Homo-oligomer: A and B are copies of this chain.
Amino acid sequence: MPAKPVPDIVVARLPLYLRALTAMHNSGKTFTSSKEMAQWLGIGSAQIRKDLSYFGEFGKQGMGYAVADLLEKLRKILHLDREWPMVIIGAGHIGSAVAAYPGFAHRGFRVCALFDNDPAKIGTSIAGLRVYDVHDLPEYVRAHDIRLAMIAVPAEAAQAVAELAVSAGVLAILNYAPLNLALPEHVRVENIDPVLHLQHMTYYLG
């Protein structure tokens, strides 16, 4: 749909806009402006207008944006007009906490299973979800057409399970293990390592 190629950095901001708009929507707001959103998010209003302009003309001149309308448009753009099933690999503290997080359901995602290699965990339930043997991952991914996986295993095991997931058809990985995964070009990877953020901040704490 976009006429000009969309910079990845612009795509990365859309979920932020979505989150702000959802909050506005929940608080009963029906209209907003790039200026208001900008203040809310702590960025420039021109940036928001330019970002949105990559995808179309969503505002009404002199009025701003209809919150519900823009919400829907952004959801379509991000392919959130359907529910994405996900698996979590690693049923330790992090995997369990993520599995129990109630924030996925209303934002387009559904965790549908956990995987681990610990016999003591396999067969149990965590947050109402079954924990399977990691060896059954490929079969499960194929059977349920899973494209998204979250990796929450120790660093030593992460590369191997990532490759296992990818070989079964996973196309995007959210990686909680503190290392850089080496995977084929076509696989998208995003990393979450809280320590990286902390170390970034300590630079400024003199």
Contacts and interface: CB of A to CB of B under 8 A. Distances in A.
A202 B14 CA distance: 11
Interface string A88-113: 00000110111011011001110000
A1 to B, nearest CB: 11
Contacts of A147: 205
B96 A199 contact: no
Given A172-B205, A180-B41, A199 B15 contact: yes
Interface size class of A (residues with CB under 8 A): 35 or more
A41 B197 CA distance: 17
Contact of A19 (B23, B178, B203): B178
Contacts of A84: 198, 202, 205
Nearest to A202: B79
A205 B171 contact: yes
| Number of copies of this protein chain within its complex | 2
Interface in A168-206: 171-172, 174, 178-180, 182, 188, 190, 192-206
Contacts of A14: 199-200, 203
A161 interface: no
Grouping DSSP codes into helix (H, G, I), strand (E, B) and loop, the A interface class, with mixed when no group exceeds half, is: helix
A20 interface: yes
A87 interface: no
Contacts of A18: 199
A206 B79 contact: yes
A175 B200 CA distance: 14
12 contacts: A11-B204, A16-B196, A42-B182, A80-B202, A93-B101, A97-B97, A97-B98, A103-B195, A107-B199, A171-B205, A174-B198, A192-B194
